[in-house]
Structure 1
Amino acid sequence: MKALVSIITPLYNSETFISDTITSVINQTYSNWELILIDDCSTDNTIKIAENFIFKNHRIKLLKNESNQGAAISRNKGIMASKGDYIAFLDADDLWKPIKLEKQVAFMKANNCYVCFSSYEQIDEEGKPLNKMVKALPVLTYNKFLKSNYIGNLTGVYNANVLGKITSANLRKRQDWLLWLNAIKASGKPAQGLQESLAFYRVRENSISSNKVALLKHNYWVYKKGLGYSTIKSMYCMVIFLWEHFFVKSKQIVSIS
C-alpha cells in the first residue's frame, strides 16, 4: 500500500480561495492522502465551503479552534492530529500541480530523502501567472538554510516516520522557516530540492510577506526567539541574511514565459 501523506492547511476567512486550494489536492495523481483543515475562527463562509467538500470526500477532515490562535498553533494542531507517513503543507490560498505528491514521494523513497521541496511559480490574487519561478536549490544544508529561507512551505514534505512530528514555533511569521530548520537538523543530512515547479504561490498585495521591510523584524525573531540566539548573534545573523537574501537568493527567482 502507498504511504499516507498528511496535508496541513490552516484556514482563516479563506472563502475566496479555499475551493481552488482543496480542488488542487483532490486532483492529485497520488491518491493516498488526508487533508486536515484547521479553521481559526473564520467569520465568513470558509467553514461552509469546507464542509461541502468533506461531505463528498472522506479524506478531508476539519478541526476548529475555539478561539483565534494564529497559523503556527493551527498548523501544530493539524500536525498532531495527522496519521501520515509524510507531512506536507498547503496554505489556503496556494495551489498544487496534480503531480506534486506523486513526484515528491517517489523521489524521497528513491533517494532515501527525509526532507524534500521543489521549485514553484508565482500567481497573482486572481490566479494569473506572474511569469516568475522560484527555483529550488538541489541540495540545502542546515548552515545554508540558516542564512535565508530557501524552502517554499507549500512545496515542503518531511518523513514523519523517521523524523517524528516536527511542529511550528509560535511566531506570527516565518514559523515555517523554523519548522524546516528543525526538520533538516533532525534528519542529520541536507534537504533535497526538485528542480521541477510543482506548485503555485499566490502573491497577495497586502500580505506581510509581500512587504519586505516589515518582514525583516520577523526574520530577526527567528534567530532571537525561535533559535534562542543572543541579541548580538541575532544581529550578526541578520547581516548575513540581508546579503544572502538580496544578493544570492534573489538569483533563484527566474522569469518564465
Structure 2
Amino acid sequence: MENPLVSIITPCYNSEKFILETIQSVKNQSYENWEMIIVDDASIDKTVFIAEQFALNDNRIKIFKLEKNLGTGMARNKALDIASGKYISFLDADDMWKSEKLKKQILFMQKNNLPFTFSFYDCIDEQGKTINKRVEAPLILTYKRLFFCNYIGNLTGIYDVDYFGKIGISSIRKRQDWMLWLTILKKMKSAKVVSESLALYRVRQNSISASKIELLKHNFAVYRKFHGYNLVISLFYMMGFLFTQLLIKPTYIKPSI
C-alpha cells in the first residue's frame, strides 16, 4: 500500500494548556507521511511559542499566524489553502490522536476504496483523564441519519482531496464540522466507520458541546442557514433532531481496559 501525504488541519486560539499534548500525539503517529498545519487565530498566550519549538525540529509542522481573531472557520480555511496532502484530516488544539490513528484509518480507506471515513473516539476531561465514555456511530452512516445527528467527531474525519477537492469550511461560526460531513455524505450517500477508538476528545466545561441549550441554538442555525429551510420546516427538523438525541443518539460505553 502507498503512504500518501496527510494534511492535518489544526486551528488554535489561546491553547497553551493543551497544544503540546496535541502536537506530540501527531509526532507519535506510526504513519509518518503527514504535515501538520497550525493556524493561530491571534492568540495572546504562549500557544505559538510552544508550537514553534516543535516546528524548529520537525519541518512537517507548519505554523501560520492570523493578525486578528477571525474564528476557527477562517483559520481552517487558511490551513486548507496551504494543505498539499492527498488526504485532509482535522485535529483541534485541545484533542489528541492515538498513535495508530492515521495508519489504521488510511489503510482502512485504501483497502475498501473509500474517499472518506471516521472512527470512534474516547472522551477525556480537561486534565487529560478518562471519563469512561466512548462515542460510537452506526457502522454504515447514511446522509439521512447524519441529517438528524452529528455522529462524526471532528478529530476523526479524513477525506480524499482527489475525490472531493478541497471543501471550504462554512462561514457559519458554529457546527462547521457537521456541515462539512453533510456536504461529504450528500455526495457519497453513506460512509463506513473504523469501528474502534482512535482519538481522544477533550470535554471542556465551557465548550459549546458541553452546553445543551447553546448546542440546540447552533443546530437550529444549521437547518435555517446551511440547508436554507424556512422557520416551520426548520422547527420540524429540530423535533426530529431532539427525537434522535433522546431515543437513538450515539452510543456511549465504557472503553475496554
TM-score range, shorter chain: over 0.9
Identify the range of structure 1 (66-75 vs 18-27) with the bigger mean alpha-carbon deviation. 66-75
Q: What is the SS of the residue equivalent to 1:34?
A: strand
Give the number of equivalent residue pairs.
255
Partner of 1:31: 32
Partner of 1:93: 94
Q: Does 1:234 align with 2:234?
A: yes
Partner of 1:104: 105
Tell me if structure 2 keeps the 8 A contact 1:117–1:136: no
Which letter does structure 1 place at the counterpart of 2:89? A
1:2-25 C-alpha deviation (Å, 9 max, x unpaired): 211000000100000000000000
Identity of counterpart residues, as a percentage?
51
Q: Distance in 2 between matches of 1:165 and 1:59?
A: 20
Which letter does structure 1 place at the counterpart of 2:253? V
Partner of 1:158: 159
Q: Distance in 2 between matches of 1:29 and 1:246?
A: 38
Q: Does 1:61 align with 2:62?
A: yes
1:190-246 C-alpha deviation (Å, 9 max, x unpaired): 111111100000001111210111210000011111121211111111000001112
1:136 is displaced (CA, Å) by: 2.6
Q: Distance in 2 between matches of 1:72 and 1:114?
A: 23
Partner of 1:44: 45
1:155 is displaced (CA, Å) by: 0.5
Q: How does 1:1-257 map to 2 (within 5 A)?
A: 2-186=3-187, 188-250=188-250, 252-256=251-255
1:256 is displaced (CA, Å) by: 2.9
Q: Which consecutive unaligned segments of at least 5 residues does structure 1 have? A: none
Tell me if structure 1 keeps the 8 A contact 2:25–2:98: yes
1:167 is displaced (CA, Å) by: 1.9
Which letter does structure 1 place at the counterpart of 2:248? V
| TM norm structure 1 | 0.97
Q: Which consecutive unaligned segments of at least 5 residues does structure 2 have? A: none
Q: Distance in 1 between matches of 2:77 and 2:147?
A: 22
